[in-house]
Amino acid sequence: MAEKLSATIAKIKSNATKFTDREYAKAQLDFDKLFDDHSKLVCPGFRSSEVVEKLKLYFLSLANGETQKGLYLHGNVGVGKSTVFKIFRSMGRFLYEEYGSHKLWFTECTAPWLVNEKMESVSPGYKGNFDLEKYYKGKLYIDDLGMEMLCFNNYELLGKLLFQRHRNGAITFISSNLTPRDVLHRYGPQVFDRMGEMFHIVKWEGESLRP
């Protein structure tokens, strides 16, 4: 697999280089193989679908510098939203560790964790190093948007975070049960109006795969 990927990674490492049509087709074949290998590592038995194929094309385009938008993946509970991001993150770690490419590497967290950690960080005796501003930049995946409580029972921390990330032009990936219209109702027009600029929006329908 390393030999097959070498030419692809050489392209990925250069921001200025674009794939030719032939190279793009070759890269897609290698990308499919990489995805299959890591899906077996992360979730044996994971099944592809039309949505998964769209996501693979998105991440390949991201790796090639063809898009600077993030991804908002929403849909039913249990269809595989969180799992597919775990697969892409595993691929990103592999590409970074083996080839030094950061193109598919991203930080991950859940929306509930961010709010809980923010509130814990002001508690007496807190020994962590939480700093919300470090989440304002860089590629970030936020899982379970909408499952978090109000921060200090007062305001929407995730709304503030998304607003700042938009200002910084940071690439954001989100998986959520919230539709874009739900985002408007929960986080307000300040976030909703920026979704088209921030995200490719993908809906994943289907039955829950959880036992």
Asked whether the predicted pLDDT for residue 191 surpasses 70, the reply is yes
Average pLDDT over residues 190-195: 95
The secondary structure of residue 149, as a DSSP letter, is: P
Average pLDDT of span 15-41 = 68
Give mean pLDDT, residues 117-143. Answer: 95
- Which is higher by pLDDT, 3 or 155? 155
Confidence grade of residue 110 (pLDDT, cut at 50, 70, 90): very high
- DSSP state letter for 151: B
pLDDT number for residue 19: 42
Residue 38 CB coordination number (10 Å): 20
CA distance 62 to 189: 27
Mean pLDDT value across residues 144-166: 97
Task: Give yes or no for residue 8 having a pLDDT over 50.
Answer: no
Q: What is the mean pLDDT of the chain?
A: 87
Buried b (16+ CB within 10 A) or exposed e, 183-200: bbeebeeebbeebeebbb
| Predicted pLDDT of residue 22 | 53
DSSP per-residue codes, 165-199: HHHHT--EEEEES--HHHHHHHH-HHHHTTHHHHE
Model confidence band, residue 211 (pLDDT cutoffs 50, 70, 90): low
Q: What is the per-residue pLDDT for 3?
A: 45
- Answer yes or no: is pLDDT of 25 > 60: no
Lowest mean pLDDT among 22-26, 93-97, 99-103: 22-26
